[in-house]
Structure 1
Amino acid sequence: MVLGPSSSRLMQASSVFVEQVEVRDDDKRGVFLYAFSEKPELSYQTNWSVSDYVIVRSYSRKGFSFWLNKGSTIHMRWEAPTSTLNQLEVVMTKGERDLQTLLPEVTDSTDFLALHEPISGKEVKYTIEEDDKYYIGVINSNRRSIIMRVAINVSATMYDTTKAKSKCSTETGSCRLRLEFPNTHYVILTTPNYGNLAGWYIELSFIARVVTYIAILGFIVIVVFLILKYLGACEGENTIIDTEVTEVRQVTETDPIMPAKPIPYTYGTGEEDDDSGDSSSSEELYDAKLCVICYDEQRNCFFVPCGHCATCYDCAQRIMEGENKVCPICRRLIHKLRRLFHS
């Protein structure tokens, strides 16, 4: 992570998911880490400046990286020999994008433009519109290296840290800040003004709150289980409904052939046995099961749609093959013939 002099960098770190934040600074320059429950305001202004001589080799560039917040301003002035000043270009980029500039092939020349040549300077000013990383670079298009003087003045906007819930410092090289559950939502890194243009890089680590992720995983497992259970229950209900519909259809087709009491039928006379006072003899029961046409075979089929079971299958076939396809009992037209199997 890139910082600079008097930097103030804000990051979101909800204590629901993050238990601790650790900062490592190998240079031990004293980075401060603050924790907040509410987002602080950009209300503090600080100024810092630095001036130094830099060497920009032929057909190359020299640059510096900073972290600046919205509202900050940068004023930069550079001085170089008059003969080469127009061949120096100052650029500024925002974000992590690398500056890509087409330059002539780099030479191995070690010639320098001496400082005793006439010196002149240029300056530029930038206003920062968004919190981000910024890079300021000087591009040398000369065939010789240049020794130039660079002066940078920055008016940096800082976050107000007076309402921080807790803080720690990297004066010993690293520090770890525990976030208070569940109200901490922001952390801020601030740096002092150490008066150096060299880059300053630190390591920032977020240590997860394991309990939260276990709870989320358990919730997802429960939801998946309930969904699968619901889908299984729906499939079971559909199977039961299909079975009941099939049974209803079977009962509807076969219901007329299963009366509550066996009724003996006669063919041709149209008379019924009036003797119902005594129980039927074995001979009558046997006759009631015989075909009413041939009186040889048992009744083993029924007619659709009337459902009467009065003949054997062979006699029923002869009725179906004849011109008058009617039931011998009710005289209804026969549509289909179904065989019965006795167990």
Structure 2
Amino acid sequence: MAQPDQISVSSRDHSAAAASSSSNHTSFPVREEYDHDHDQRLRQLEFRQPEIEQQQREYIEISNRGNYFGFNDVASVRDDTWSCVVVVLTFWFFVSMTMILGVYGAMSLTLGPKCSVLLQPTPIFVQSIKVEQLYDTNPGLILYGLYTSPPLDVAETWNRTLNFSVSPDSHKDIMYFLNEGSQINISYRVNSPISSVFLVIAQGSESLSQWLENPTRPNTTLSWNVIQGSGFVQQSIFTSASYYVAVGNLNSEEVEVQLTLRVRSFMYNTTEAYYKCTFTDSKCSLSILFPNGNAVVLNSLGPEEVNL
């Protein structure tokens, strides 16, 4: 089975600056208009009610002072609101940067035969990508660079026969990366007249772990089968991901199993690639074009020996 190929990238450094704004209001034009309107009303009432003139003027002065302080309070509230908005936006930016840099850090991939993986790092945060072949068990690796995302339209078919034994209360599994549109066909033979085992196809390690916790639950994997004797299982692939073919034995005795896999896989078309690296020194690197970016395709072409 193919060993992980480690991919690492270098990220661009960025910083964000936040700015706050405040607004000032002048109360004097308002006060003058306010005084003018009230003076008109006072002139109309001064002959009939001269005794309350002083009270009216004191009321006007108090009202104007109240309006003046009111405008200052509104400006202060607006300043506090903008400060909160700036703090939230700054926090959101740094959280986003952390998440992005985490996603585009070092990662490992396990590739099988006739496998094709598309990588599209964001040029704003990623400056280059480096792929290192950790082991020499899969000599057919090729790294391509393309200006645009290539079509997923190259169909390949490959076969593999696996013979292995499964100990009591244990399982054996093998992983393949398959793109959307691929199909797995499995012919099986259980070399035991009385024992049955589980044959499952799980999408991703999480699904496999859930099945291992409770092998008798059929809804934790993409395909779940109880097999005995000989037969055939077929499964279509709807999402590009890693898939595990696993056999579980809950019996009290060891069971011999034979699986013959016939896989129809889809690979990315790399005829328009401007860059090609064949891992002659086990490493390949490619710069990410800024600002438009580019597509990176990692293909696995050669056969591989698998030991379960």
Interval containing the TM-score (normalised by the shorter chain): 0.5 to 0.7
1:149 to 252, 258, 265: 258
Indicate whether 1:5 and 2:117 are aligned.
no
2:273 to 147, 157, 164: 164
Kindly provide the amino acid, as one letter, of the partner of residue 176 in structure 1: S
5+ long unaligned stretches in structure 1: 105-118, 200-343
State the number of aligned residues. 184
Task: For residues 256-283 of structure 1, give each alpha carbon's deviation from its aligned partner in whole angstroms, at most 9, with x where no partner exists.
Answer: xxxxxxxxxxxxxxxxxxxxxxxxxxxx
1:168, 1:177 within 8 Å by CA — same for their partners in 2? no
1:138 to 231, 234, 247: 247
Kindly provide the amino acid, as one letter, of the partner of residue 131 in structure 2: V
Task: For residues 162-187 of structure 1, give each alpha carbon's deviation from its aligned partner in whole angstroms, at most 9, with x where no partner exists.
Answer: 11121212232222222344443321
* Deviation (angstroms), 1:14: 3.4
How far apart in 1 are the matches of 2:304 and 2:187?
A: 16
- Matched residue SS, 1:160: coil
Answer 1 or 2: higher relative contact order, Cα 8 Å, separation at least 6. Answer: 2
Counterparts in 2 of 1:117-136, with a 5 A limit?
A: 120-136=229-245
Q: In the alignment, which residue of structure 2 is the partner of 1:34?
A: 144
Q: In the alignment, which residue of structure 1 is the partner of 2:302?
A: 193
- Matched residue SS, 1:42: coil
How far apart in 2 are the matches of 1:103 and 1:8?
A: 31
- Matched residue SS, 2:158: strand
1:20 to 117, 123, 128: 128
Kindly provide the amino acid, as one letter, of the partner of residue 267 in structure 2: M
Structure 1 runs (4+) greater than 6 angstroms displaced: none
TM-score, normalised on structure 1? 0.50
Distance 1:60 1:84, change over 3 A: farther
Kindly provide the amino acid, as one letter, of the partner of residue 137 in structure 1: A
How far apart in 2 are the matches of 1:31 and 1:68?
A: 16
Kindly provide the amino acid, as one letter, of the partner of residue 45 in structure 1: A
How far apart in 2 are the matches of 1:51 and 1:45?
A: 21
How far apart in 2 are the matches of 1:133 and 1:177?
A: 24
1:175 to 284, 291, 304: 284
5+ long unaligned stretches in structure 2: 1-108, 217-227
Q: In the alignment, which residue of structure 1 is the partner of 2:45?
A: none
Kindly provide the amino acid, as one letter, of the partner of residue 93 in structure 1: A
1:73, 1:126 within 8 Å by CA — same for their partners in 2? yes
Task: For residues 193-219 of structure 1, give each alpha carbon's deviation from its aligned partner in whole angstroms, at most 9, with x where no partner exists.
Answer: 3143459xxxxxxxxxxxxxxxxxxxx
Counterparts in 2 of 1:313-332, with a 5 A limit?
A: none
1:184 to 289, 293, 299: 293
1:6, 1:192 within 8 Å by CA — same for their partners in 2? yes
Kindly provide the amino acid, as one letter, of the partner of residue 247 in structure 2: V
Percent identity between the two aligned chains? 26
* Deviation (angstroms), 1:48: 0.9
1:102 to 194, 214, 225: 214
Q: In the alignment, which residue of structure 1 is the partner of 2:155?
A: 45
2:188 to 78, 83, 90: 78
* RMSD over equivalenced CA pairs, Å: 2.2
Greater shift, 122-131 or 12-21, is seen at 12-21
TM-score, normalised on structure 2? 0.55
